[in-house]
Amino acid sequence: MSNRAAIRYAKAVLDQANEANIGSVVFGDMKSVQDTLAGSKELRNVLASPIIKGEDKEKSLIKIFESNSDVTKGLIQILTANKRINLLGDVASSYINLYNEAQGVKVAKVTTAVALSPELETKVLAKVKEMTGSDQVTIENTIDESIIGGFILRVGDLQYNASIANQLGNLKREFTKSL
């Protein structure tokens, strides 16, 4: 969940990217930042560490993301200068959400117990397009084994919970009511 500071930084970066007509380039950069941080626990630990100097964090991030745009590198420098570099992942996530919203792209978050198969992903995509009336839809699949089976679908404020764990919970409530 993004915090307010991350959203403010993301809005500023989006404005700057739109002024320079490179919003889609920075979108790619933010996806890269998000994926890199998600894939590296060590990097997340480095960013959160109060022991490692901000300048060292900045140098490392600039080196890691050297192929990214100047706007993204500027964001890293600003976050470091303001001692907020630990927000980089949240800013990237907020930017992606804001950019998608500005482009009219709906993001469907699907939580499943196992990874979505291509066939099931196509079916979910068709259902979301039908529900939202939008042709531009992307799917984010999260795997959570605790739902046992089925899926949980979230699009904006709408949620459809077809998980086995939810159905078992409903059965349990029904049984306790009848006792």
C-beta neighbour count of 15 within 10 angstroms:
12
Do 58 and 109 share a structural domain? no
Looking at the fold, whether 15 and 79 belong to one and the same domain comes out as: yes
Q: Picking from 20-24, 52-56, 87-91, 165-169, which range would have the lowest pLDDT averaged per residue?
A: 165-169
Q: In the chain, what percentage of residues exceed pLDDT 70? A: 99
What is the predicted pLDDT for the residue at 49?
A: 93
Number of domains in the chain: 2
Check the CA dihedral 113-119-120-122 and report its sign.
positive
Among 101, 118, 152, the domain-final residue is 101
8 & 79 share domain = yes
**pLDDT value of residue 2:** 57
Question: What is the sign of the dihedral through the CA atoms of 36, 40, 44 and 46?
Answer: negative
**CATH number where 64 lies:** 1.10.520.20
**Does pTM surpass 0.85?**
no
Range of the domain at 12: 4-101
Say if residue 36 is in the same domain as residue 118: no
Of the listed ranges 29-38, 54-63, 136-145, the least confidently predicted one is 136-145
Same domain, 8 and 93: yes
- Taking only Cα atoms into account, the Rg of the chain, rounded to an integer number of angstroms, comes to 20
127 in the same domain as 94: no
**Same domain, residue pair 11 and 91:** yes
Cβ neighbours of 148 (radius 10 Å): 13
Are residue 108 and residue 160 in the same domain, yes or no? yes
The stretch 15-30 carries a mean pLDDT of: 96
Is there a single domain that holds both residue 87 and residue 31? yes
- Looking at the structure, tell me whether residues 97 and 14 fall in a common domain: yes
- Summarised one tens digit per residue, pLDDT across range 23-39 is 999 999 999 999 999 99
pLDDT band at 55; cut points 50, 70, 90 = very high
Q: Are residues 97 and 125 in the same domain?
A: no
Contacts of 163 (CB under 8 A, 6+ apart): 111, 113, 147, 148, 149, 150, 151, 152
Of 56, 77, 101, the residue at which a domain comes to its end is: 101
Say yes or no: 83 and 156 in one domain: no
Of 68, 101, 134, which residue sits at a domain end? Answer: 101
Is pLDDT larger for residue 85 or for residue 101? 85
